[in-house]
Amino acid sequence: PPPPMAFYLHYRVSTVGQLLDETLEDLVANEQLTESQKDVVLLQFDKAIATALSSWVKNRASLKGQLDHYRNCDNVWTFFTENSVLKLEGTGAGAPEEYCKKIKIIACDGRHQGGGAGAAAAMGVAGAAGGAAAEGGGKTRGRK
């Protein structure tokens, strides 16, 4: 049999991922689920959220700002920008632009261990999380 597919776990820190984990913890505490059942549900969540975002999300985002720093660990890139302008494309004429003092972008190679084709990214804007693809611009300075 083929080896089990692995998916990135970073969507677990999204609002829906945290709420799912809290709910599962309550079910385990009330002895309605076992720890192994909880783990199965979380693995299914990882797979489902990655699949849904890669197939359903068609909008793109463009980002112009200053790259404060970045890092790469196990082919997961994390970018930290400052004084950025975020524009959602594909939302119709006159797409809104949002000024963001700080943005954290997590970008993963979607071909990694069954995560799908292309690149998957999660973007945190002042603590919020969501799926997007991003382009950077403006002055950059990088440190690993």
pLDDT at 32 over 50: yes
What does each C-alpha distance from 20 to 27, 39, 115, 131 come to in angstroms?
11, 12, 21, 18
- The H helix count followed by the E strand count for the chain is 2, 5
Model confidence at 144, pLDDT cuts 50, 70, 90, reads very low
For residue 90, the model assigns a pLDDT of: 67
As a whole number, mean pLDDT of residues 84-104 equals 81
Model confidence at 120, pLDDT cuts 50, 70, 90, reads very low
* CB neighbour list of residue 2: distance below 8 Å, 6 or more residues apart: none
Residue 23, helix vs strand vs coil: helix
81 close to 65: Cβ distance less than 8 angstroms: yes
For residue 124, the model assigns a pLDDT of: 42
CA angle in degrees (0–180, nearest 5) for 8-10-142: 100
pLDDT at 114 over 60: no
